[in-house]
Chain A
Amino acid sequence: MTDDHKPVTEADLHAYVDGLLDEGRRREIELWLNRHPEDEAEVRQWQTQAAELKAAFSGYAQVTESDRTLLNTPTAVVATSSPSLWRRAALVAASLTLFLSGAAAGVYGEKLLGTAVTVETAAAIDSLPDQSKTAFLVYASEKRHPVEVGADQEDHLVTWLGKRLDYKLVAPDLKGLGFSLVGGRLLPVNGKAGAMLMYQDTAGQRLTVLLGKNPENAETSFRFESAGSLETFYWIDGSIGYAVTGEVNRSKLQQIAEECYRQFET
């Protein structure tokens, strides 16, 4: 078998992924892919990506009851009285309220007033792994006050934090993996009361476990994110999101995350 047909271009590979080829050409591309594993790997990646995008957005193509109200703009009326401007005015007003209430004063206030960005900007929240990394960086390096309540008061610690999270918190026992509890603290996660537990090994290497309320019940698989030498595993289980961060190699941290998952109640 040779590549003696029309040469296969990158455009052909895209058209293959997008289902835009006729049957004959499609077969030729498939034969080509069989003989060119690098192209095949890329094409499979694009197919997966396309499937994910379709899955993520297809649900929005729905008829809703409010569709007809979208048409209620009197078209004869010029743009000055359009709902869009009213919406923007409302957003600016809402921004102003936020600004005056001090919720975002100094940080976002000026920018919100200066532009028509949406109100949710002011409430912008980092993702769970980002918050976990920040907590680790701030507290794991802390010498004198890494935690608010130490491991010597473990019962008090888990009762107190559990109450704030409205969840039966346990501090996982990680001694089998070489880490013992240092203690924990209350801190904001997703804008609500959350908890951080800290562990360290005999060499003083620390890791943190962050728990935050999740706005909706969900169950996810484990994910990891790397940032330099910092590894984070995170997942959501029921109403709580969890993230484990440490300067520990990934396979070790995965063991720790699995152990935490096993011991946390859902």
Chain B
Amino acid sequence: MPHAPDQDARAKGVNPPSTETFENQILSLVPSLRRYSRSLAKSDSDGEDLLQDCVEKVLVRRGQWRGVNLRAWAFTIMTNLYRDRHRHVSQHPSVEFDETLGLTADDVSGDPLEKTRLQKALNALSPDHRSVLMLVVVEGYGYQDVADMLAIPIGTVMSRLSRARRQMAAHLAENNIVTLRRPK
């Protein structure tokens, strides 16, 4: 499978892990965990919160790690946390997060309206569809890897990916862009 998770080699045969190794490995995973958390979240602060919860849980549960593929294990934990949070929030559907707060100074290079548009389309996806889309597209995992991480059949991965892509396409088509040569 392409995109083999990068922690396998170092991680194999290290069970139980020494504190130093384990924490350094977690540290090296933080950037990609941050990217994944942000891709699931509705704002930067929401994403950072999810990241903190995830790292905390990984540390607390370190005894349960089987010593193989720490990255995939951490991604699974993050996905579950995200799903649980979403369930909690959606019990109160009238409470909406603010998409515009996701536009921080980090990405002034991008077009903020474009980002809001994308964020809205993503927020319309269910957590199950969104996590599969992000694991494949942004994190570069193969379909079987995703199936293993989420403990679902590969057919389910494919149907979620398909649904996510079509729903995104439909949503993005609704609010269209006119890219003009601006008249000034």
Q: How far is the CA of A111 from the CA of B182 in the complex (A)?
A: 44
Q: Is the CB–CB distance between B158 and A11 below 8 Å?
A: yes
Q: Is the CB–CB distance between A14 and B158 below 8 Å?
A: yes
Q: Is the CB–CB distance between B97 and A223 below 8 Å?
A: no
Q: How far is the CA of A55 from the CA of B103 in the complex (A)?
A: 14
Instruction: Pick from A55, A125, A236 the residue with the most CB of B within 10 Å.
Output: A55
- Would you list which residues of chain B between 1 and 60 have a CB under 8 Å from chain A? 1-2, 23, 26-27, 30-32, 34-35, 38-39, 43, 45-47, 49, 51-53, 55-56, 59-60
A-B contact count (CB 8 A): 192
Chain B's interface: helix, strand, loop or mixed, by majority? Answer: helix
Residue B151 is within 8 A (CB to CB) of chain A in the complex: no
> Which of B96, B107, B114, B183 is in CB contact (< 8 Å) with A220?
B114
Contact A57 B138, CB 8 Å, known A46-B165, A262-B183: yes
Q: Is the CB–CB distance between A118 and B35 below 8 Å?
A: no
Residue B115 is within 8 A (CB to CB) of chain A in the complex: yes
- Would you list which residues of chain B between 53 and 77 have a CB under 8 Å from chain A? 53, 55-56, 59-60, 62
Contacts of B55 in A (CB 8 A): 70-71, 73
Contact A223 B45, CB 8 Å, known A49-B172, A111-B92: no
Q: How far is the CA of A220 from the CA of B133 in the complex (A)?
A: 27
> Which of B97, B108, B182 is in CB contact (< 8 Å) with A121?
B97
Q: Is the CB–CB distance between A53 and B98 below 8 Å?
A: no
> Which of A10, A42, A115, A261 is in CB contact (< 8 Å) with B183?
A261
Q: Is the CB–CB distance between B27 and A61 below 8 Å?
A: no
Q: How far is the CA of A49 from the CA of B47 in the complex (A)?
A: 21
Contacts of A236 in B (CB 8 A): 112-113
- Would you list which residues of chain A between 200 and 242 have a CB under 8 Å from chain B? 215-218, 220-226, 233-236
Q: How far is the CA of A96 from the CA of B59 in the complex (A)?
A: 31
Q: How far is the CA of A220 from the CA of B183 in the complex (A)?
A: 13
Q: Is the CB–CB distance between B103 and A111 below 8 Å?
A: no
> Which of B1, B91, B108, B184 is in CB contact (< 8 Å) with A218?
B108
Q: How far is the CA of A220 from the CA of B136 in the complex (A)?
A: 29
- Would you list which residues of chain A between 224 and 266 have a CB under 8 Å from chain B? 224-226, 233-236, 254, 258, 261-262
Contacts of A108 in B (CB 8 A): 95
Chain B: residues with CB nearer than 8 A to chain A?
A: 1-2, 23, 26-27, 30-32, 34-35, 38-39, 43, 45-47, 49, 51-53, 55-56, 59-60, 62, 88-89, 91-92, 94-101, 103, 105-108, 110-118, 120, 133-134, 136-138, 142-143, 158, 161-162, 165, 168-169, 172, 174-180, 182-184
Chain A: residues with CB nearer than 8 A to chain B?
A: 10-11, 14-15, 18-20, 42, 45-46, 49-50, 52-64, 67-68, 70-71, 73, 75, 79, 82-84, 87, 108, 111, 114-118, 120-121, 123-125, 127-128, 190, 215-218, 220-226, 233-236, 254, 258, 261-262
Q: List 14 A-B contacts (CB under 8 A).
A: A10-B162, A20-B1, A46-B165, A52-B114, A55-B110, A60-B35, A60-B38, A60-B39, A218-B112, A220-B111, A222-B177, A222-B180, A224-B176, A261-B184
